[in-house]
Structure 1
Amino acid sequence: MIKTVIFDLDGTLLNRDESVKLFINAQYDRLNKVVGHIPRENYVTRFIELDSRGYVWKDKVYQQLANEFEITDITWEELLQDYICEMKNNCVPFPNLISMLYELKRRNLRLGIITNGKGQFQMDNIKALGIEDFFDTILVSEWEGIKKPDPEIFKRALKQLNVSPNISIFVGDHAANDVKAAQNAGMIGIWKKDIQWSKVEADFIINDLAELPFVIDNINNNMFKSY
Protein backbone atom coordinates (compact mmCIF):
# COMPACT_ATOMS: atom_id res chain seq x y z
CA MET A 1 0.00 0.00 0.00
CA ILE A 2 1.17 3.49 -0.80
CA LYS A 3 2.13 5.33 2.38
CA THR A 4 3.64 8.58 1.11
CA VAL A 5 3.16 11.10 -1.68
CA ILE A 6 5.83 13.73 -2.33
CA PHE A 7 5.31 16.62 -4.75
CA ASP A 8 7.32 19.04 -6.77
CA LEU A 9 6.08 22.64 -6.36
CA ASP A 10 6.46 24.78 -9.49
CA GLY A 11 4.45 23.44 -12.40
CA THR A 12 2.89 20.74 -10.21
CA LEU A 13 1.04 22.39 -7.32
CA LEU A 14 1.75 26.02 -8.22
CA ASN A 15 0.75 27.15 -11.70
CA ARG A 16 3.95 29.06 -12.14
CA ASP A 17 3.31 30.18 -15.72
CA GLU A 18 0.09 31.95 -14.74
CA SER A 19 1.61 33.25 -11.51
CA VAL A 20 4.51 34.85 -13.38
CA LYS A 21 2.16 36.48 -15.89
CA LEU A 22 0.14 37.98 -13.04
CA PHE A 23 3.25 39.15 -11.23
CA ILE A 24 5.03 40.80 -14.15
CA ASN A 25 1.90 42.64 -15.26
CA ALA A 26 1.37 43.83 -11.68
CA GLN A 27 5.01 44.90 -11.45
CA TYR A 28 4.66 46.92 -14.64
CA ASP A 29 1.67 48.74 -13.13
CA ARG A 30 3.26 49.17 -9.70
CA LEU A 31 6.53 50.56 -11.08
CA ASN A 32 5.06 52.34 -14.08
CA LYS A 33 6.89 55.57 -13.28
CA VAL A 34 10.23 53.89 -13.91
CA VAL A 35 9.39 51.26 -16.54
CA GLY A 36 6.46 52.97 -18.26
CA HIS A 37 8.65 54.08 -21.18
CA ILE A 38 8.67 50.43 -22.24
CA PRO A 39 5.52 49.09 -23.94
CA ARG A 40 3.78 46.70 -21.52
CA GLU A 41 3.79 43.80 -23.99
CA ASN A 42 7.53 44.16 -24.54
CA TYR A 43 8.32 44.25 -20.82
CA VAL A 44 6.08 41.30 -19.99
CA THR A 45 7.11 39.14 -22.94
CA ARG A 46 10.83 39.72 -22.49
CA PHE A 47 10.71 38.95 -18.77
CA ILE A 48 8.94 35.66 -19.45
CA GLU A 49 11.46 34.76 -22.16
CA LEU A 50 14.47 35.52 -19.97
CA ASP A 51 12.95 33.78 -16.95
CA SER A 52 12.92 30.52 -18.92
CA ARG A 53 10.14 29.07 -16.74
CA GLY A 54 12.10 29.71 -13.57
CA TYR A 55 15.36 28.08 -14.62
CA VAL A 56 17.17 31.44 -14.72
CA TRP A 57 17.41 33.28 -11.41
CA LYS A 58 16.02 36.79 -11.52
CA ASP A 59 19.29 38.65 -10.88
CA LYS A 60 20.33 37.69 -14.41
CA VAL A 61 16.85 38.45 -15.78
CA TYR A 62 16.68 41.95 -14.34
CA GLN A 63 20.24 42.82 -15.29
CA GLN A 64 19.39 41.90 -18.86
CA LEU A 65 16.08 43.78 -18.79
CA ALA A 66 17.73 46.92 -17.41
CA ASN A 67 20.36 46.77 -20.11
CA GLU A 68 18.04 46.05 -23.04
CA PHE A 69 15.35 48.56 -22.11
CA GLU A 70 17.70 51.22 -20.72
CA ILE A 71 16.03 51.25 -17.31
CA THR A 72 17.88 53.93 -15.36
CA ASP A 73 15.46 55.28 -12.73
CA ILE A 74 15.52 52.05 -10.70
CA THR A 75 18.33 49.54 -10.21
CA TRP A 76 18.12 45.90 -11.22
CA GLU A 77 18.68 45.06 -7.55
CA GLU A 78 15.52 47.00 -6.63
CA LEU A 79 13.58 45.23 -9.37
CA LEU A 80 14.81 41.91 -8.03
CA GLN A 81 13.78 42.84 -4.49
CA ASP A 82 10.33 43.73 -5.76
CA TYR A 83 10.10 40.26 -7.31
CA ILE A 84 11.20 38.59 -4.07
CA CYS A 85 8.68 40.55 -2.01
CA GLU A 86 5.70 40.51 -4.37
CA MET A 87 5.74 37.17 -6.19
CA LYS A 88 3.96 35.47 -3.29
CA ASN A 89 1.00 37.80 -3.80
CA ASN A 90 0.44 36.39 -7.29
CA CYS A 91 0.51 32.65 -6.66
CA VAL A 92 -2.05 30.69 -8.68
CA PRO A 93 -2.79 27.09 -7.65
CA PHE A 94 -3.63 24.40 -10.14
CA PRO A 95 -7.29 23.32 -10.10
CA ASN A 96 -8.37 20.89 -7.37
CA LEU A 97 -5.19 21.39 -5.33
CA ILE A 98 -6.82 21.79 -1.92
CA SER A 99 -9.50 19.12 -2.41
CA MET A 100 -6.85 16.65 -3.57
CA LEU A 101 -4.67 17.32 -0.52
CA TYR A 102 -7.66 16.93 1.82
CA GLU A 103 -8.44 13.58 0.21
CA LEU A 104 -4.88 12.33 0.61
CA LYS A 105 -4.80 13.39 4.26
CA ARG A 106 -8.18 11.71 4.79
CA ARG A 107 -6.46 8.51 3.70
CA ASN A 108 -3.73 9.09 6.32
CA LEU A 109 -1.02 9.41 3.70
CA ARG A 110 2.15 11.23 4.68
CA LEU A 111 2.88 14.15 2.36
CA GLY A 112 6.01 16.04 1.37
CA ILE A 113 7.38 18.63 -1.04
CA ILE A 114 10.79 18.66 -2.69
CA THR A 115 11.46 21.83 -4.67
CA ASN A 116 14.50 23.41 -6.24
CA GLY A 117 14.89 27.10 -5.55
CA LYS A 118 15.60 29.73 -2.93
CA GLY A 119 14.54 28.69 0.55
CA GLN A 120 12.44 31.53 1.95
CA PHE A 121 11.11 32.46 -1.49
CA GLN A 122 9.70 28.97 -2.06
CA MET A 123 8.31 28.79 1.47
CA ASP A 124 6.54 32.12 0.96
CA ASN A 125 4.90 30.71 -2.17
CA ILE A 126 3.84 27.53 -0.37
CA LYS A 127 2.30 29.61 2.42
CA ALA A 128 0.59 31.84 -0.13
CA LEU A 129 -1.13 28.78 -1.59
CA GLY A 130 -2.41 27.95 1.90
CA ILE A 131 -1.02 24.42 1.83
CA GLU A 132 1.90 24.40 4.27
CA ASP A 133 0.01 22.56 7.02
CA PHE A 134 -0.82 19.60 4.78
CA PHE A 135 2.82 18.56 4.57
CA ASP A 136 4.88 16.49 6.97
CA THR A 137 8.16 17.59 5.40
CA ILE A 138 9.24 20.30 2.94
CA LEU A 139 12.71 20.29 1.39
CA VAL A 140 13.99 23.31 -0.56
CA SER A 141 17.24 22.84 -2.45
CA GLU A 142 18.95 26.01 -1.20
CA TRP A 143 18.45 24.98 2.41
CA GLU A 144 19.35 21.34 1.78
CA GLY A 145 22.54 22.08 -0.15
CA ILE A 146 21.51 19.62 -2.86
CA LYS A 147 18.89 19.76 -5.58
CA LYS A 148 16.92 17.53 -7.88
CA PRO A 149 17.78 15.35 -9.76
CA ASP A 150 20.32 14.28 -7.10
CA PRO A 151 18.79 11.12 -5.58
CA GLU A 152 20.08 12.16 -2.16
CA ILE A 153 17.39 14.83 -1.76
CA PHE A 154 14.69 12.21 -2.39
CA LYS A 155 16.32 9.81 0.07
CA ARG A 156 16.53 12.59 2.64
CA ALA A 157 12.80 13.28 2.36
CA LEU A 158 11.95 9.58 2.63
CA LYS A 159 14.15 9.26 5.72
CA GLN A 160 12.39 12.20 7.35
CA LEU A 161 9.03 10.56 6.58
CA ASN A 162 10.33 7.19 7.79
CA VAL A 163 9.10 5.35 4.70
CA SER A 164 10.70 3.14 2.05
CA PRO A 165 10.81 4.30 -1.57
CA ASN A 166 8.86 1.36 -3.03
CA ILE A 167 5.67 2.46 -1.25
CA SER A 168 6.20 6.12 -2.07
CA ILE A 169 5.05 8.27 -4.99
CA PHE A 170 6.64 11.39 -6.42
CA VAL A 171 4.53 13.74 -8.54
CA GLY A 172 6.20 16.33 -10.77
CA ASP A 173 6.12 18.07 -14.13
CA HIS A 174 9.79 17.73 -15.16
CA ALA A 175 10.79 14.56 -16.99
CA ALA A 176 14.36 14.42 -15.67
CA ASN A 177 14.41 16.35 -12.40
CA ASP A 178 11.15 14.88 -11.09
CA VAL A 179 10.00 11.67 -12.75
CA LYS A 180 13.27 10.01 -13.73
CA ALA A 181 15.08 11.23 -10.63
CA ALA A 182 12.37 9.84 -8.34
CA GLN A 183 12.44 6.52 -10.18
CA ASN A 184 16.22 6.44 -9.76
CA ALA A 185 15.65 6.80 -6.02
CA GLY A 186 13.32 3.77 -6.10
CA MET A 187 10.06 5.69 -6.00
CA ILE A 188 7.01 5.50 -8.27
CA GLY A 189 7.24 8.45 -10.66
CA ILE A 190 4.06 10.23 -11.74
CA TRP A 191 4.20 12.89 -14.41
CA LYS A 192 1.81 15.82 -14.25
CA LYS A 193 1.55 16.71 -17.91
CA ASP A 194 3.32 19.86 -18.99
CA ILE A 195 3.65 21.52 -22.39
CA GLN A 196 7.46 21.44 -22.32
CA TRP A 197 7.49 17.67 -22.82
CA SER A 198 5.76 15.66 -25.54
CA LYS A 199 6.57 12.23 -24.11
CA VAL A 200 7.75 11.18 -20.67
CA GLU A 201 8.53 7.68 -19.46
CA ALA A 202 6.58 7.74 -16.23
CA ASP A 203 4.88 5.03 -14.19
CA PHE A 204 1.64 6.99 -14.42
CA ILE A 205 0.52 10.23 -16.07
CA ILE A 206 -2.08 12.73 -14.85
CA ASN A 207 -3.54 15.84 -16.45
CA ASP A 208 -5.24 17.14 -13.31
CA LEU A 209 -4.46 16.83 -9.61
CA ALA A 210 -7.95 15.45 -9.03
CA GLU A 211 -6.84 12.26 -10.81
CA LEU A 212 -4.18 11.44 -8.24
CA PRO A 213 -6.37 9.61 -5.65
CA PHE A 214 -7.66 7.33 -8.42
CA VAL A 215 -4.10 6.59 -9.56
CA ILE A 216 -3.20 5.67 -5.98
CA ASP A 217 -6.19 3.30 -5.88
CA ASN A 218 -4.94 1.71 -9.09
CA ILE A 219 -1.43 1.28 -7.69
CA ASN A 220 -2.74 -0.21 -4.44
CA ASN A 221 -4.99 -2.64 -6.31
CA ASN A 222 -2.07 -3.80 -8.45
CA MET A 223 0.11 -4.20 -5.37
CA PHE A 224 -2.58 -6.30 -3.70
CA LYS A 225 -2.91 -8.54 -6.76
CA SER A 226 0.81 -9.14 -6.87
CA TYR A 227 0.84 -10.72 -3.44
Structure 2
Amino acid sequence: MIKNNNTSKYDEKYLITHKIRSFVRHQGRITKKQKYALTNQWEGVGIDFIKKPCVFKKIFNNLNMVIMEIGFGMGTSLISTAIKNPEKNFLGIEVYTPGIGSCLSSIKANNIKNLKIIHHDAIEVLDFMIPDNSLSTIQLFFPDPWYKKKHNKRRIVKITFAEKIYSKLIPKGIFHMATDCDQYAKYALNIFSIIKGFNNISNINNHMSNKEIRPETKFEKRGKKLCHNIHDLIFKK
Protein backbone atom coordinates (compact mmCIF):
# COMPACT_ATOMS: atom_id res chain seq x y z
CA MET A 1 0.00 0.00 0.00
CA ILE A 2 1.18 3.53 -0.74
CA LYS A 3 3.10 5.06 2.12
CA ASN A 4 4.09 8.69 1.71
CA ASN A 5 6.52 10.36 4.09
CA ASN A 6 5.59 13.81 2.81
CA THR A 7 2.79 16.31 2.42
CA SER A 8 0.64 13.94 0.37
CA LYS A 9 -2.43 12.55 2.08
CA TYR A 10 -5.18 10.26 0.84
CA ASP A 11 -8.84 10.21 1.79
CA GLU A 12 -11.10 7.16 1.94
CA LYS A 13 -11.47 7.22 -1.85
CA TYR A 14 -7.70 7.25 -2.41
CA LEU A 15 -7.81 10.83 -3.67
CA ILE A 16 -4.66 12.85 -3.23
CA THR A 17 -5.45 15.83 -1.01
CA HIS A 18 -2.24 17.86 -0.76
CA LYS A 19 -1.98 21.18 -2.60
CA ILE A 20 -1.01 20.85 -6.25
CA ARG A 21 1.14 23.71 -7.50
CA SER A 22 1.52 23.12 -11.23
CA PHE A 23 -1.85 21.66 -12.23
CA VAL A 24 -5.45 21.05 -11.27
CA ARG A 25 -7.02 17.72 -12.13
CA HIS A 26 -10.24 15.96 -11.19
CA GLN A 27 -9.29 12.57 -9.78
CA GLY A 28 -12.22 10.65 -11.21
CA ARG A 29 -13.67 7.34 -10.11
CA ILE A 30 -11.41 4.55 -8.94
CA THR A 31 -12.36 1.04 -10.04
CA LYS A 32 -12.17 -1.97 -7.76
CA LYS A 33 -9.22 -3.26 -9.77
CA GLN A 34 -7.35 0.03 -9.37
CA LYS A 35 -8.14 0.19 -5.66
CA TYR A 36 -6.87 -3.36 -5.21
CA ALA A 37 -3.64 -2.46 -7.01
CA LEU A 38 -3.15 0.65 -4.86
CA THR A 39 -3.59 -1.43 -1.72
CA ASN A 40 -1.74 -4.61 -2.68
CA GLN A 41 0.65 -3.97 -5.58
CA TRP A 42 2.51 -0.80 -4.60
CA GLU A 43 5.34 -2.57 -2.79
CA GLY A 44 8.29 -3.31 -5.04
CA VAL A 45 6.97 -1.07 -7.82
CA GLY A 46 6.04 2.21 -6.19
CA ILE A 47 8.60 4.58 -4.73
CA ASP A 48 7.39 6.67 -1.81
CA PHE A 49 8.15 10.37 -2.02
CA ILE A 50 10.92 11.44 0.35
CA LYS A 51 13.20 14.46 0.33
CA LYS A 52 16.23 12.36 -0.47
CA PRO A 53 17.90 11.63 -3.85
CA CYS A 54 17.14 8.26 -5.43
CA VAL A 55 19.93 5.75 -5.93
CA PHE A 56 18.86 4.18 -9.20
CA LYS A 57 21.39 1.36 -8.97
CA LYS A 58 19.62 0.14 -5.81
CA ILE A 59 16.12 0.82 -7.10
CA PHE A 60 16.55 -1.12 -10.36
CA ASN A 61 19.40 -3.38 -9.26
CA ASN A 62 21.41 -2.48 -12.37
CA LEU A 63 23.25 0.38 -14.05
CA ASN A 64 21.03 0.67 -17.12
CA MET A 65 20.00 4.09 -18.37
CA VAL A 66 16.93 5.65 -16.71
CA ILE A 67 14.09 7.25 -18.67
CA MET A 68 11.59 9.34 -16.71
CA GLU A 69 8.08 10.17 -17.90
CA ILE A 70 6.24 13.06 -16.28
CA GLY A 71 2.46 12.62 -16.18
CA PHE A 72 1.90 9.15 -17.65
CA GLY A 73 -1.90 9.24 -17.26
CA MET A 74 -3.28 5.70 -17.23
CA GLY A 75 0.17 4.39 -18.15
CA THR A 76 -0.71 2.70 -21.45
CA SER A 77 2.13 4.14 -23.55
CA LEU A 78 4.62 3.93 -20.68
CA ILE A 79 3.80 0.25 -20.12
CA SER A 80 4.18 -0.47 -23.84
CA THR A 81 7.55 1.29 -24.02
CA ALA A 82 8.89 -0.48 -20.92
CA ILE A 83 7.90 -3.89 -22.31
CA LYS A 84 9.59 -3.16 -25.65
CA ASN A 85 12.80 -1.90 -24.01
CA PRO A 86 13.78 -4.34 -21.22
CA GLU A 87 17.39 -3.12 -21.38
CA LYS A 88 16.31 0.32 -20.13
CA ASN A 89 14.90 1.47 -16.80
CA PHE A 90 11.74 3.59 -16.63
CA LEU A 91 10.45 5.90 -13.91
CA GLY A 92 6.90 7.25 -14.16
CA ILE A 93 5.60 10.26 -12.24
CA GLU A 94 1.85 10.84 -11.86
CA VAL A 95 -0.60 12.49 -9.45
CA TYR A 96 -3.75 11.02 -10.99
CA THR A 97 -4.73 8.26 -8.56
CA PRO A 98 -6.73 6.05 -10.98
CA GLY A 99 -3.74 6.23 -13.33
CA ILE A 100 -1.44 5.00 -10.58
CA GLY A 101 -3.80 2.11 -9.87
CA SER A 102 -4.14 1.22 -13.54
CA CYS A 103 -0.38 1.31 -14.10
CA LEU A 104 0.31 -0.82 -11.03
CA SER A 105 -2.19 -3.41 -12.25
CA SER A 106 -0.60 -3.53 -15.73
CA ILE A 107 2.91 -3.81 -14.31
CA LYS A 108 1.80 -6.80 -12.25
CA ALA A 109 -0.12 -8.43 -15.11
CA ASN A 110 2.83 -8.12 -17.51
CA ASN A 111 5.49 -8.98 -14.90
CA ILE A 112 7.41 -5.80 -15.75
CA LYS A 113 10.67 -5.44 -13.82
CA ASN A 114 12.14 -2.29 -15.38
CA LEU A 115 9.45 0.22 -14.41
CA LYS A 116 8.92 2.04 -11.11
CA ILE A 117 6.42 4.80 -10.34
CA ILE A 118 6.07 7.74 -7.97
CA HIS A 119 2.69 9.18 -6.96
CA HIS A 120 3.55 12.82 -6.43
CA ASP A 121 3.97 16.27 -7.96
CA ALA A 122 6.71 16.04 -10.61
CA ILE A 123 8.23 19.39 -9.66
CA GLU A 124 8.87 18.23 -6.09
CA VAL A 125 10.17 14.89 -7.36
CA LEU A 126 12.66 16.74 -9.56
CA ASP A 127 13.65 19.04 -6.71
CA PHE A 128 14.18 16.41 -4.04
CA MET A 129 14.48 12.91 -5.51
CA ILE A 130 16.24 13.09 -8.87
CA PRO A 131 20.04 13.50 -8.69
CA ASP A 132 21.69 15.88 -11.14
CA ASN A 133 23.12 14.27 -14.29
CA SER A 134 21.23 11.00 -13.71
CA LEU A 135 18.55 10.62 -16.42
CA SER A 136 19.16 9.68 -20.04
CA THR A 137 15.74 10.91 -21.18
CA ILE A 138 12.88 12.92 -19.71
CA GLN A 139 9.49 12.61 -21.44
CA LEU A 140 6.55 14.99 -21.15
CA PHE A 141 3.70 13.84 -23.37
CA PHE A 142 0.60 16.00 -23.82
CA PRO A 143 0.71 18.11 -20.65
CA ASP A 144 -2.30 20.31 -19.94
CA PRO A 145 -1.85 23.33 -22.27
CA TRP A 146 -3.99 25.69 -20.18
CA TYR A 147 -5.35 27.45 -23.24
CA LYS A 148 -6.67 30.61 -21.56
CA LYS A 149 -4.05 33.34 -21.24
CA LYS A 150 -4.92 33.94 -17.59
CA HIS A 151 -4.15 30.26 -16.91
CA ASN A 152 -0.83 30.13 -18.80
CA LYS A 153 0.99 30.50 -15.47
CA ARG A 154 -0.26 27.02 -14.55
CA ARG A 155 1.70 25.39 -17.36
CA ILE A 156 4.37 23.04 -16.14
CA VAL A 157 6.74 24.28 -18.86
CA LYS A 158 8.49 27.48 -17.79
CA ILE A 159 12.06 28.69 -17.44
CA THR A 160 12.58 27.18 -13.98
CA PHE A 161 11.20 23.82 -15.19
CA ALA A 162 13.48 23.81 -18.24
CA GLU A 163 16.47 24.56 -16.01
CA LYS A 164 15.56 21.64 -13.73
CA ILE A 165 15.23 19.34 -16.73
CA TYR A 166 18.65 20.34 -18.03
CA SER A 167 20.32 19.74 -14.67
CA LYS A 168 18.84 16.24 -14.27
CA LEU A 169 19.90 14.95 -17.70
CA ILE A 170 23.20 13.22 -18.31
CA PRO A 171 25.50 14.72 -20.99
CA LYS A 172 23.82 14.11 -24.38
CA GLY A 173 20.59 13.37 -22.52
CA ILE A 174 17.24 13.99 -24.24
CA PHE A 175 14.14 15.99 -23.31
CA HIS A 176 11.13 14.93 -25.40
CA MET A 177 7.85 16.82 -25.24
CA ALA A 178 4.72 16.11 -27.28
CA THR A 179 1.65 18.34 -27.55
CA ASP A 180 -1.35 18.83 -29.83
CA CYS A 181 -1.55 22.55 -29.04
CA ASP A 182 0.18 24.73 -31.64
CA GLN A 183 0.52 27.66 -29.26
CA TYR A 184 1.96 25.51 -26.48
CA ALA A 185 4.47 23.96 -28.89
CA LYS A 186 5.68 27.41 -29.93
CA TYR A 187 5.79 28.53 -26.30
CA ALA A 188 7.77 25.45 -25.18
CA LEU A 189 10.14 25.80 -28.12
CA ASN A 190 10.92 29.36 -27.07
CA ILE A 191 11.42 28.36 -23.42
CA PHE A 192 13.82 25.49 -24.10
CA SER A 193 15.70 27.47 -26.73
CA ILE A 194 16.63 29.96 -24.02
CA ILE A 195 18.45 27.33 -21.94
CA LYS A 196 22.14 27.45 -22.74
CA GLY A 197 23.47 24.00 -23.64
CA PHE A 198 20.22 22.59 -25.05
CA ASN A 199 20.22 21.81 -28.78
CA ASN A 200 16.96 21.42 -30.69
CA ILE A 201 17.29 18.18 -32.67
CA SER A 202 13.69 18.07 -33.91
CA ASN A 203 13.85 17.77 -37.67
CA ILE A 204 10.82 19.54 -39.16
CA ASN A 205 10.43 23.28 -38.64
CA ASN A 206 11.91 23.04 -35.14
CA HIS A 207 9.62 20.17 -34.18
CA MET A 208 9.05 16.69 -35.49
CA SER A 209 6.26 14.21 -36.14
CA ASN A 210 7.32 10.58 -36.20
CA LYS A 211 5.09 7.67 -35.23
CA GLU A 212 8.14 5.52 -34.54
CA ILE A 213 9.59 7.62 -31.71
CA ARG A 214 6.86 6.82 -29.18
CA PRO A 215 3.53 4.99 -28.80
CA GLU A 216 0.35 6.90 -29.56
CA THR A 217 -1.33 8.20 -26.40
CA LYS A 218 -4.97 8.67 -25.44
CA PHE A 219 -4.66 12.46 -25.61
CA GLU A 220 -2.93 12.23 -28.99
CA LYS A 221 -5.80 10.18 -30.42
CA ARG A 222 -8.27 12.73 -29.10
CA GLY A 223 -6.24 15.57 -30.60
CA LYS A 224 -6.19 13.88 -34.01
CA LYS A 225 -9.97 13.44 -33.93
CA LEU A 226 -10.18 17.20 -33.40
CA CYS A 227 -7.81 17.69 -36.36
CA HIS A 228 -5.06 19.11 -34.14
CA ASN A 229 -1.44 19.13 -35.27
CA ILE A 230 0.82 16.83 -33.26
CA HIS A 231 4.17 18.32 -32.27
CA ASP A 232 7.17 16.41 -30.93
CA LEU A 233 9.88 18.71 -29.57
CA ILE A 234 13.22 17.07 -28.82
CA PHE A 235 16.16 18.78 -27.16
CA LYS A 236 19.60 17.30 -26.51
CA LYS A 237 21.92 18.37 -23.71
> Which TM bucket (shorter chain)?
0.3 to 0.5
Compare the two structures and name the one with the higher helix fraction.
1
Q: TM-score, normalised by structure 2?
A: 0.37
Could you say which structure has the greater relative contact order, defined with CA pairs below 8 angstroms and 6 or more residues apart? 1
Computing the radius of gyration over CA atoms, which structure comes out larger, 1 or 2? 1
Compare the two structures and name the one with the higher strand fraction.
2
Q: TM-score, normalised by structure 1?
A: 0.38
